[in-house]
Chain A
Amino acid sequence: MRELLGQAWTVARKDLVLEFRTRTALLSAVVFTALVLTVFNFGRDPTAVATIDLAPSILWVTFTFAAMLALNRAFQLELENGALEGLLVSPVSRRSLYLGKLLANLGFVGVVEAVGLPLFVLFFDVPVGPVLLPLIGVIALATVGFVSVGTLFSAMVVRTRFAELMLPVLLLPFLLLPLTYAVQATARLLAGRPLSEVSGWLKLLAAYDLVFVAVALLLFPHTMDE
């Protein structure tokens, strides 16, 4: 277990160093997030639907599509100079590789979300102050869910043509459940409902995370066979 986690951390650290050194995908994702929130802000009619009703969906649609950018690049960067082949020849276990990519993707998406959340508050003027901690909990649980599935699919499509198109097509159906749970939980938090009303959605998100991280760990080695 120690070796598994050690190798995973080595891979994750390398990915994060590469990303923060080039900053291409990170900057793209942050700018994308800001643009989507801006478009939603100006593209809605505040007299027709109350902001508080619309905001949770906007937040999660934005985070989901921004995460796609991260997930697309996760394995793309291993194609440079055939590094993926090097990883597969090395003694690093396939599961360590998956966990490493998962950790790096979580770091990447976490940064995008950390920038996106204040922008969301700024644009939509929603009262997140009193519910900030539980909201961060919802975001963290939902992010683990869709990044765990996304990392698996990212590996599946990386050696296919049109990988950037294939990933959303394959991934979005699997995101319906965590997105539904996240939107429901976020809506209740922003409406000032008691935490007891949110706990059920949080448990569902946690269950989704456990199931899909386990399934991804099981399936990932098969996606890497040549």
Chain B
Amino acid sequence: MLSAEGLRHTYGRVVALDGVSFTLAPGQTLAIFGPNGAGKTTLLKVLAGLIRPQQGRASVAGGRRAVGWIGHQSHLYGHLSVMENLLFWAALYGVPSAERGARATALLERLGLSDRAGQPVWSLSRGLAQRAAVAKALVHDPRVLLLDEPFTGLDLAAAAELRNLLGELRGAGRVLVLATHNVDEGVELATDVAFQRQGRFVQLAARGERGAAEIAAAYRRAVTDA
């Protein structure tokens, strides 16, 4: 469903990706942990088709239409309401017009934003805007979800709700790729774990029965070893 083969990309002398390869099948969630500047965002941008890698290739079954993206920014227009934003993005992703309203309403309800549907995005707090960004990423029911630090700005309740939602999506056979520098976030969602440093996957393995503490210890060793 999602594959990366020998990805390499540089920005001048800075190596952002160096020989990254992996394949994910439906229901798998890959959590990528790495320090700032490790190349996590570049990898997600390559998977999303935003950056053409200098070497290697990435492919997603179903193409762009199958991808949902939650990044550092919400991609929402401040002077449109939350609902108008969702309807706009649903239209761009080819959601049939008869289904757009119902899908958007259901998502807003799920994310606790029903009473904010008519409110312009500029008037939302950061946490509420992040929830609206999650709704935007899911409005076309993507089969692959790319998440770049998705918990940033969410309060504890909203973060827990997002984790539940992502767990459900994984259970429904969606592929999730989650990039974060915080090992405590999203470990329990992961079926596979990668540690990224200076563009390389220094470790890629199934999570198995490992818990957050075990993975955090392995992560510290992996990113600090020379």
Contact = CB atoms under 8 A, between A and B. Distances in A.
A200 interface: no
Contact of B75 (A7, A11, A14, A82): A82
B163 interface: no
Interface stretch (B19-27, B66-74, B164-172): B66-74
Contacts of A115: none
A18 B94 contact: no
A191 interface: no
Contact of A89 (B49, B78, B84, B129): B49
A82 B73 CA distance: 6
Nearest to A22: B79
B80 interface: yes
Contact of B65 (A10, A80, A88, A91): A91
B220 to A, nearest CB: 31
A90 interface: yes
B40 to A, nearest CB: 16
Contact of A83 (B63, B76, B91): B76
B93 A90 contact: yes
Contacts of A10: 88, 91-92
B77 A18 contact: yes
A137 interface: no
Given A86-B89, A89-B64, A90-B93, A81 B71 contact: no
Contacts of A92: 92
Contact of A85 (B52, B64, B75): B75
Contacts of A22: 79
Interface string A1-28: 0010001001100100110011000000
Interface of A is mostly: helix
A226 interface: yes
Contact of B92 (A18, A85, A90): A90
B123 to A, nearest CB: 13
B75 A83 contact: yes
A11 B88 CA distance: 8
B79 to A, nearest CB: 5
A45 interface: no
A89 B80 contact: no
Nearest to B51: A226
A206 B84 CA distance: 37
A194 B65 CA distance: 54
Contacts of B93: 90-91
A21 B122 CA distance: 13
Nearest to A86: B75
A83 B77 contact: yes
B54 to A, nearest CB: 12
Contact of A82 (B51, B71, B79, B88): B71
B226 interface: no
A85 B69 CA distance: 10
A91 B69 CA distance: 12
A217 to B, nearest CB: 19
B75 A81 contact: yes
Interface of A: 3, 7, 10-11, 14, 17-18, 21-22, 77, 80-83, 85-92, 225-226
Given A81-B76, A83-B77, 11 more contacts: A3-B94, A7-B92, A10-B88, A18-B79, A81-B73, A81-B78, A85-B71, A86-B69, A87-B92, A88-B50, A90-B64
